[in-house]
Amino acid sequence: KSAYQRAYELTNPKICPHVVNEISKYKTEYAEKFKVTHQNHITQLGKLRDYAIKKDMPGVAVNAEVWRGKAMGYYVEKHMNVNKNSIDDLTPEKLQNKMDEMLDNHAAW
């Protein structure tokens, strides 16, 4: 099996729910330990931007501001994915079934 396949299996709640639960637990512990919140992240990027401006580093300041915007959801990155299993070809019933299946697969997250 490829590493990609193994990673998929380990992060699939239907195949390895215990692994998914452990990953979730570690993410929560990390966020609590290092006080990682959305607001803290945005604030820190703002401080880095201000510091870069003071040090006359406009490129770094712009980069920090772009990342703040991405974190706030102001920028949407679009990627083209050509897929033979496109949802455009599904009937409404099949689409609903596929959505229900996805929700069931990731309910533990």
User: Could you tell me the pLDDT band of residue 15, with boundaries at 50, 70 and 90?
Assistant: very high
What pTM does this model have? 0.48
CA gap 34, 5 in Å, rounded: 31
Residue 1: predicted pLDDT:
74
Residue 105: predicted pLDDT:
82
Q: Give 108's DSSP letter.
A: T
Residue 81: predicted pLDDT:
64
- Torsion angle, alpha carbons of 40, 42, 45, 51, to 10: -80
Mind listing the pLDDT tens digit for each residue in 33-89? 888 788 999 999 999 999 999 999 999 999 999 999 998 888 888 877 666 667 777
Residue found under tokens 């607001």: 39
For residue 21, the number of C-alpha atoms closer than 13 Å in the C-beta half-sphere is: 5
